Amino acid sequence: MGGSAANKPKLIIDGKRVDGRSFGQMRQIKITASVLKNADGSAFIEWGNNKILAAVYGPKEATPKHLSDPMKAIIKCRYMMAPFSSLADHGRTGPNRRATEISKVIKEVFENCVVLTEYPGSQIEVYIEILQGDGGTRAAGLTAAAVAMASAGIQMKDIPYAVSVGRIDEHLAIDFNMIEDNYSDSDMPIAISPRNNDIVLLQMDGGLTKEQFMRSIKMAIDAGKTITDLQKRALREVYAKDEINGE
Amino acid sequence: MSAFDSVKSGYIKELLAKGIREDGRGLFSYRDIKIIPNVIENAEGSAQADLGGTRVLAGTKVILGEPMHDLPNQGSFSVSAELLPLAHAEYETGPPSPAAIELARVVDRGIRAGNCIDLESLFLEEGKVWSIYVDLYILNYAGNLFDASALAAMAAIMTTRVPKYEDGKEVREDRSRKLKINNVVTTSTFGKIGNTILLDLDENEDNASDARITVATDDDTIRASQKGLRGSFSLKEIDMMLDKTFEKRKELKSKLEHMK
Amino acid sequence: MMREIVLPGDLLEEKPVRMENAFVENNKTYAKVLGMYDKEHSSLIALEGVYQPRIDDVVVGIISEVKNKVYEVDLAFFGRCLLIAGKYDRETYKQGDVVEAVIKNIEDRKTIILTDARPLSGGTILQVKPTKIPRIIGKGSTMIRQISDLAKCHVVVGKNGTVWMRGGNVALATEAILTIEREAHLSGLTEKIKRMLEEQKGN
């Protein structure tokens, strides 16, 4: 929604979106789990042209000590765009206000699904590095981080996923790319815990009627079946050779 | 250094006293080197370099800028490095550490002194040039960041495309022009543990080492060098390492062939 | 004996069943880790994750701090671990010493108290995933004894994932242990490791 209305390109042509997708169609998604050697858990996600690396360290001793909680684990999250991740600019390294806010809301998702009381006094670190961004990076990054968290063997009640739903004129469409994101009338990233469809992250700006708002959430939940399936498949593939019988 | 590292260092030293490396390599052998070019399409150039378990991603951005005051007729470039916290349990979030700054500057100096990038080809018109930003992203640390980063940076530069510039405006979509390269520089980094000198130190060896030296060269000239850590090298040792650097040059350069 | 890989949030049973690494919500049982589920025996074994200490576990640690007669021990665990020198722990340790010890108590789930410590001098250590330790030890210690015998290496395995080795062919023992760590979920491992050790030993 950063683009000015004056040079807004035509985002819908003959009922199709700029990249030829239908309104309910997501981009191609590929997830690979356990891609980094040093991290306790990791995942690489290619979501459309987004390329994102997520890693989890911990639970480990919380530092500094005064920030630790003797009753449960604390979660630290860093979402960051690489300086070469965008087509046009050279991004400055270091957190800006946008990255700081995204890091905070993603952290809160993991505070919801991780069983924090299992790891008193510890910290769990979540790193999301956007190597290439093309719209919807926080949703894709969160989806990858959830796989990294599970692959680290951390106790969780669910594996959350995220996707964004937006509005172009009177149409609701799922999973905006960068151009759509820049010129859309509304954008709403949503994260959901699939076990009971609880909403664990929601941000929105632009304009939606109540009916559109509710319909957007339902579209996210529908798309979620595919995302959840891809997350689980990535995790199972790490142990693919098995289906096991003990010795 | 953790308690674990210090026990490990003791063992590394014990083995080296017998001339053995923990992974069985020769003292002057590199681990496996693998470079994948063009991994980030949004960047003007990119490459991922694996040196054993160390993984570095380099990306370049070519951005419209102003020339330096003292060099009005040429473009500019700079190298930065980030030791990402996801690369190692001991790497932390925050501003670039002295280690990251040293790494970036050593890589920068080799490429700059070797005149690798034809900076004059980046001049556009008075007061306007292309600036090249090379960013090194350390994704997994397993020792010897210097050589892995130098390879990734050089490969990313070799794959770089320059956007079109027409009527005082950039056309970023048109990237048909290749960045002009004058020279290819490679580096070899040695460490000293006790009295033993070795090449391409892995993580445990890095932790155990007392002194480090990086030598950047092209085919026949030394272009840059940096000695690090608190230990020292003798003249004889330096002499030997320079010979080894030129010896290893062929192997490293071959990994950069076909980068485009 | 059919076992399957389950993931956090997966429904295990339509009824409440109490088992480790699972939770019950609305009278249904769900997994809370990535693990191997054995329905018949109602057991869910985690495939990854940090060390979960238990009283009487044998662990291997490194003395990281010495304060009077209290030693801080690094166990690659998120909490604290203390060894208090008593009449059974007469050894005097210094920073960097490797010890084998037994967990005597766990306070508030995050402070481990050790006892019966003995020093492991020289040699080297290896950190593996604690979830793979049972496999590295093997049924009735068969696996670890095999490695120790064929590599002629003195090996002490801590439940916390720290392995200490000294003498003989440490490189071969390390390779065998890392192979088990990587392939712990596969069958036929004892035979495979035996073949590997015998082949390599010939070289």
Q: Is residue A242 part of a domain?
A: no
C124/B2 touch (CB, cutoff 8 Å), yes or no = no
Q: Residue B172 is nearest to which of A53, A87, A93, comparing CB atoms?
A: A87
pLDDT over threshold 80, residue C87: no
Measure the CA–CA gap between A133 and B240, rounded to whole angstroms: 46
Q: Given this model, what pLDDT does residue B204 score?
A: 95
* β-sheet with B196-199: strand ranges across: B196-199, B186-193, B211-217, B222-228
User: Which amino acid, one-letter code, is at A117?
Assistant: T
Q: What's chain B's average pLDDT? A: 95
Chain B contacts to C (CB-CB under 8 A): 2-4, 6-8, 10-11, 14, 22, 24
Q: Given this model, what pLDDT does residue C84 score?
A: 87
Whether A76 has its CB under 8 Å from any CB of chain C: the answer is no
pLDDT over threshold 80, residue B139: yes
Q: What is the CATH number of domain C124-202?
A: 3.30.1370.10
A104's CB contacts (< 8 A; 6+ apart) are: A77
Pair of tokens at residue C105: 């108590």
Q: Which residues of B118-133 are buried (b: 16+ CB within 10 A; e: fewer)?
A: ebebbbeeeebbbbbb
**Residues of the domain holding A172:** 23-235
CB A71 within 8 A of CB A118: no
Cβ-based neighbour number of residue A230 at 10 Å: 18
Phi, psi of A118 (to 5 degrees): -70, -20
In chain C, what residues touch B7 (CB-CB under 8 Å)? 62, 96, 98, 124-125
B99's CB contacts (< 8 A; 6+ apart) are: B83
Pair of tokens at residue C30: 């769900």
Note the pLDDT tens digit of each residue in B94-112: 888 999 999 999 999 999 9
B80/A90 touch (CB, cutoff 8 Å), yes or no = no
DSSP letter (8 states) at residue C139: G
Q: Given this model, what pLDDT does residue A9 score?
A: 85
Note the pLDDT tens digit of each residue in C54-77: 999 999 999 999 988 899 999 999
Pair of tokens at residue C135: 């496999």
Domains C4-46 and C58-120 share a fold: yes
Q: Given this model, what pLDDT does residue C190 score?
A: 84
**Closest among B38, C146, B206, C117 to A131, alpha carbons compared:** B38
In chain B, what residues touch C62 (CB-CB under 8 Å)? 3-4, 6-7
Q: Is residue A176 part of a domain?
A: yes
Note the pLDDT tens digit of each residue in A92-151: 766 788 999 999 999 999 999 999 999 999 999 999 999 999 999 999 999 999 999 999
3-state DSSP of chain A: CCCCHHHCCCCEECCEECCCCCCCCCCCEEEEECCCCCCCEEEEEEECCEEEEEEEEEEEECCCHHHCECCECEEEEEEEECCCCCCCCCCCCCCCHHHHHHHHHHHHHHHHHECHHHCCCEEEEEEEEEEECCCCHHHHHHHHHHHHHHHCCCCECCCCEEEEEEEECCEEEECCCHHHHHHCCEEEEEEEECCCCEEEEECCEECCCHHHHHHHHHHHHHHHHHHHHHHHHHHHHCCCCCCCCCC
String of DSSP letters for chain B: --HHHHHHHHHHHHHHHTT--TT---TT----EEEEE---TTSSEEEEEEETTEEEEEEEEEEEE--BTTBTTS-EEEEEEEE-GGG-TT--SSSPPHHHHHHHHHHHHHHHHTT-B-GGGGEEETTEEEEEEEEEEEEE--S-HHHHHHHHHHHHHHT-EEPEEETTEEETT---EEPPB----EEEEEEEETTEEEES--HHHHHH-SEEEEEEE-SS-EEEEEEESS----HHHHHHHHHHHHHHHHHHHHHHTT--
Measure the CA–CA gap between C94 and C62, rounded to whole angstroms: 10
Q: What is the mean pLDDT of residues C131-137?
A: 95
In chain C, what residues touch B90 (CB-CB under 8 Å)? none
Q: Given this model, what pLDDT does residue C68 score?
A: 81
Enumerate residue ranges in chain A where pLDDT < 70: 1-6, 93-94, 241-247
Whether A193 has its CB under 8 Å from any CB of chain C: the answer is yes
Q: Is residue A243 part of a domain?
A: no
Q: Is residue A17 part of a domain?
A: no
A247/C189 touch (CB, cutoff 8 Å), yes or no = yes
In chain C, what residues touch A195 (CB-CB under 8 Å)? 9, 30
DSSP-based three-state secondary structure for C55? coil
**CATH class of the domain comprising C4-46:** mainly beta
Measure the CA–CA gap between A160 and C187, rounded to whole angstroms: 32
Q: Given this model, what pLDDT does residue C3 score?
A: 84
- Cis amide prior to A59 (ω within 30 degrees): yes
CB C83 within 8 A of CB C117: yes
Number of domains in chain A: 1
Q: Which candidate in C3, C4, C10, C48 is best for mutational testing of the A interface (most A CBs within 10 A)?
A: C48
Q: Is residue A38 part of a domain?
A: yes
pLDDT over threshold 50, residue B45: yes
DSSP letter (8 states) at residue C161: S
Read off the pTM. 0.93
pLDDT over threshold 60, residue C174: yes
C78/A41 touch (CB, cutoff 8 Å), yes or no = no
Confidence grade of residue C1 (pLDDT, cut at 50, 70, 90): low
Q: Given this model, what pLDDT does residue A243 score?
A: 44
A131/B87 touch (CB, cutoff 8 Å), yes or no = no
DSSP-based three-state secondary structure for C59? strand
Domain ranges of chain C: 4-46, 58-120, 124-202
CB C161 within 8 A of CB C128: yes
B3/C64 touch (CB, cutoff 8 Å), yes or no = yes
Phi, psi of C58 (to 5 degrees): -90, 125
Task: Look up tokens 């095999």; give the residue.
Answer: C146
Rg (CA), chain A: 18
Note the pLDDT tens digit of each residue in B50-81: 999 999 999 999 999 999 999 999 999 999 99
In chain C, what residues touch B6 (CB-CB under 8 Å)? 62, 96
What is the domain-level CATH number for residue A92?
3.30.230.70
Q: Given this model, what pLDDT does residue A245 score?
A: 40
Cβ-based neighbour number of residue C145 at 10 Å: 13
Give me the interface pTM, i.e. the ipTM.
0.92
Task: Look up tokens 């969780």; give the residue.
Answer: A156
CB C109 within 8 A of CB C79: yes
Topology (CATH) of B18-256: Ribosomal Protein S5; domain 2 (3.30.230)
pLDDT over threshold 70, residue C194: yes
Kindly identify which residue of chain A lies nearest to residue B54, measuring between CA atoms: A37
Q: What's chain A's average pLDDT? A: 92
Beta strand B177-178 with B161-162: parallel, antiparallel or unpaired? antiparallel
Phi, psi of C167 (to 5 degrees): 80, 170
Confidence grade of residue C11 (pLDDT, cut at 50, 70, 90): very high
Confidence grade of residue C200 (pLDDT, cut at 50, 70, 90): confident
Measure the CA–CA gap between A13 and A23, rounded to whole angstroms: 12
Q: Is residue A206 part of a domain?
A: yes
Q: What is the CATH number of domain C58-120?
A: 2.40.50.140
Q: Given this model, what pLDDT does residue A247 score?
A: 33
